[in-house]
Amino acid sequence: MKMLRILCGSIAFCALLLTQHNVLAQANESLRSVEQAQQVLPRAPRLPRAAFLEARTLVAVQLSPTGDFVAYLREQKDSRALWLLPTDGGKARPLAGSTQADQVMWSRDGRWLFLRGSRSLGIVGVDGRAGVRVPLGGIEQRRVMQLDRSQPAAVLLRERVRVGKGERWRIVRMDVHGKRTLLREDAHWIHDVALDAQGRIVALARFEGDHDALHRVRADGSLRKVLRLRPMERLDLLAARADGSLLMTGNPDSTAPGGDFRRVMRLDADDRLQTLHQDPRGEADLDEVALDPRTQMPLAASYRSTVAATYGIGDAQATVAAITRKFPGRDIGLQVGGGPSAHWLVSERAATLRDARLYLYDPRNGDVRRILDEPGITTGVPDETALARKIAVSYVASDGLRVHGFVLLPPGVDAARAPLIAQVHGGPISHFRAGYDGTAQFLANRGYVVFQSNFRGSTGHGRAYTFASNGDYGNGRVQRDIVEGVRWLLAQGIGDANRVGIVGHSFGGYSTLLGLTFQPELFKVGVAGAPPADLGWGMRWLVQSGDQGDLPDRSLQHTLRALSLDATDPATYARLHAQSPQANAMKMQRPLLIMAGGADRTVAIREVIHYSATLKSLGRPVTLLVEPGGGHSPVEPIPREAYLFAMETMLQRHLGGPVPEAPGQRLRAYLRENLRLAGPEFTAFAKK
């Protein structure tokens, strides 16, 4: 502390340093106390792999606008059905016996349900009547934009129209009977709109070739630009108010005080931005907002990039505070019924809850009542006591930046003697949240401490944090954040320094390859899912050939250029290639497991195979498992189980831990057929 005061060059800077020091000291003390509390708990029973495959029974749950019903999609055996539960305590009844939908939206009048899937939109009345069915995707790239809250029962669709060799985009209103009304046609891709009470588009956000922009729409249809957004500035329109103001979420004008973070905002009629709510801790982007279904006014805001917290907004502060007090230490999600006596739907979430617990809150008396907890729905959900606490942590990198992350501590395990796994998220434009993570919990259940770094370049902590990477995604600053986080944990007495591994998928897989290549003294083994072995080549392929290339929603290439990751630039390509695992394959010595999909359109399978073949030719210890026809991540049950089994086998062999449960006949056959390269850990499954 004395040294900190000596180093301060000004009172303000000294205050900043001392505040950061105190925050980190408190966090470290909290980590130590939690670790001690976890260690004295009984050792968790080992759960079967199937418990971590996240095959949830409830796919989607939505409260009606009046708070009278809860609609939900329920998985039963091989079918998915739509059910309706009265909130007054009556019995649930099925509305649609078979659907492929994964999202549910209520019409404003509460008489219809829109069932949205990847390929179609279905409509069902609460009385069992069927509305029209609309195909999605296709050559028109038709998508459901949002519910049309200006109408009793309608949605807004976005469709592409071919014009010669070009294209235009239409915003169409469609009611439950299939009646269509064209609201706007535009040469630019419109990603959001706001409607007035008469159903006229009064504001829109669109991509304009190299940037996003927010426009007000005049009565004659002409536009007036209000905001020009910089890369990684985003906004979502919530509602247009009668006074001419717009309610929105996002981080436009990120140069303004507090504007760096995603927040709840109001743009008044004079185009002045006001912040209605942002993270009081100054650490996290807005994750979710709950709206009044009658007025579309924001009532609650949730933040989940560090310690999960939900806060009330305006007149709802007391109500939200009363609800959160009933669930101390939990992550709360809210859906609001319209009117002072209407029920609210409360979702209780936690890192130790695979599936959220659902309750109805009665604002008249403050009571909460659990719903949808019958055995047919909750069967197979892991007991909380078998899962690991997930602790938000932060540490100071070697250049002084405060870096965020999480640590999962297995109950009943001496963390100082446990193997430590660094789990790296994909993206890298993504981040770990405070909630449940199946892979991390699977590893913790096997006795591993799991560290999840939200390294600089991650989202969730403001735009400046994302751009703090300065494009250094090779063996540079981003990787050092991960490495320094591991070393910081070891210095706190968390993890056995002789048993450290690294795992990840997509960008996380790339980081795994980097770790084994350039930090072999730290990482003893790695598991990489769908890893680009040369980020420069991989980014160039993604833009030119992959499914996530220059899409109409916003240009990936412009985003990559802003992040200094545009590999179409020769200098950027050369820099990333020189630091790539592919170009430094000779340095790889540690055992490695690679898993990939044969039809991946995000990371080219030929890149994965080329790297694996290079390692094999050099005599390096590598195993390659490829899912035929698989995409970027495994979806079907057997490939997903194979992912966990292969990971567990690899880590157990090199870091210790319990021997994996024997694979069943189908899993054994899958491994035998799809192991392209079998290292010594998998010789029992190699083809003879």
Q: What confidence score (pLDDT) does residue 348 get?
A: 97
Count CB atoms within 10 A of the CB of residue 415: 23
| DSSP calls for 486-509 | HHHHHHTT-S-TTSEEEEEETHHH
Q: Is the pLDDT of residue 212 over 50?
A: yes
Q: What confidence score (pLDDT) does residue 106 get?
A: 97
DSSP secondary structure letter of residue 587 = G
User: How much of the chain, in percent, has pLDDT values that exceed 90?
Assistant: 79
The residue with greater pLDDT, 201 or 657, is 201
User: Using an 8 Å Cβ cutoff, are 62 and 105 in contact?
Assistant: yes
User: How much of the chain, in percent, has pLDDT values that exceed 70?
Assistant: 94
Q: What confidence score (pLDDT) does residue 97 get?
A: 84
d(CA 251, CA 464): 11
Nearest CA-CA partner of 196 in 265, 144, 247? 247
Q: Is the pLDDT of residue 3 over 50?
A: no
By mean pLDDT, which of 131-140, 370-379, 385-394, 554-563 is the weakest? 554-563
d(CA 442, CA 448): 9
d(CA 656, CA 446): 10
Q: What confidence score (pLDDT) does residue 340 get?
A: 86
The two three-digit tokens of residue 684, written as one number: 């029992």
- Cβ contacts of 179 within 8 Å, gap of 6 or more: none
SS3 labels along 635-671: CCHHHHHHHHHHHHHHHHHHHCCCCCCCCCHHHHHHH
Please report which confidence band the pLDDT of residue 554 belongs to, taking 50, 70 and 90 as the band edges: low
Specify if 275 maps to a domain. no
**Mean pLDDT value across residues 409-436:** 95
Please report which confidence band the pLDDT of residue 26 belongs to, taking 50, 70 and 90 as the band edges: low
Cα angle, residue 328 at apex, residues 326 and 332 outer, rounded to 5°: 75
| DSSP calls for 164-216 | TTEEEEEEEEEETT--EEEEEEESSEEEEEEE-TTS-EEEEEEE-SSSEEEEE
**Mean pLDDT value across residues 262-268:** 96
pLDDT digits (tens, 9 = 90+) for 460-503: 999 999 999 999 998 999 999 999 999 999 999 999 999 999 99
Please report which confidence band the pLDDT of residue 9 belongs to, taking 50, 70 and 90 as the band edges: very low
Q: What confidence score (pLDDT) does residue 377 get?
A: 87
Q: What is the largest CA-CA distance in the chain?
A: 75
User: Using an 8 Å Cβ cutoff, are 231 and 212 in contact?
Assistant: no
Specify if 393 maps to a domain. no
d(CA 435, CA 302): 12
Q: Which helix (H) or strand (E) holds 157?
A: strand 154-163
Specify if 335 maps to a domain. yes
- Cβ contacts of 90 within 8 Å, gap of 6 or more: none
d(CA 467, CA 657): 38
Residue 21 phi, psi dihedral angles, 5° rounding? -60, -45
Q: Is the pLDDT of residue 255 over 80?
A: no
Specify if 633 maps to a domain. no
Please report which confidence band the pLDDT of residue 514 belongs to, taking 50, 70 and 90 as the band edges: very high
On the CB side of 76, CA atoms within 13 Å amount to: 14
Specify if 479 maps to a domain. no
Q: What confidence score (pLDDT) does residue 53 get?
A: 86
Q: Is the pLDDT of residue 425 over 60?
A: yes
Please report which confidence band the pLDDT of residue 141 belongs to, taking 50, 70 and 90 as the band edges: very high
pLDDT digits (tens, 9 = 90+) for 150-172: 999 999 999 999 888 889 999 99
Q: How far apart are the first and last CA of the chain?
A: 64
**Mean pLDDT value across residues 188-214:** 94
Angle, helices 570-578/535-544, rounded to nearest 10 degrees: 140
Q: What confidence score (pLDDT) does residue 686 get?
A: 83
User: Using an 8 Å Cβ cutoff, are 496 and 434 in contact?
Assistant: no
Nearest CA-CA partner of 560 in 580, 536, 592, 532? 536
Specify if 327 maps to a domain. yes
Q: What confidence score (pLDDT) does residue 688 get?
A: 67
Q: Give the number of domains in the chain.
A: 1
The two three-digit tokens of residue 271, written as one number: 């185009």
d(CA 191, CA 453): 31
Nearest CA-CA partner of 306 in 486, 452, 508? 452
Specify if 263 maps to a domain. no
Please report which confidence band the pLDDT of residue 121 belongs to, taking 50, 70 and 90 as the band edges: very high
Q: Is the pLDDT of residue 67 over 70?
A: yes
Nearest CA-CA partner of 503 in 420, 430, 582, 390? 420
Please report which confidence band the pLDDT of residue 456 belongs to, taking 50, 70 and 90 as the band edges: very high
Average pLDDT, the chain: 91
The two three-digit tokens of residue 682, written as one number: 């998998």
Please report which confidence band the pLDDT of residue 209 belongs to, taking 50, 70 and 90 as the band edges: confident
DSSP secondary structure letter of residue 127 = T
- Return the C-alpha torsion angle 96, 97, 100, 103, nearest 10: 40
d(CA 682, CA 673): 12
Q: Which domain holds residue 332?
A: 283-378
d(CA 233, CA 463): 7
Q: What confidence score (pLDDT) does residue 333 get?
A: 97
Q: What confidence score (pLDDT) does residue 96 get?
A: 87
Specify if 430 maps to a domain. no
Cβ-count burial of 665 within 10 angstroms (0-12 exposed, 13-18 middle, 19+ buried)? exposed
Q: Is the pLDDT of residue 4 over 60?
A: no
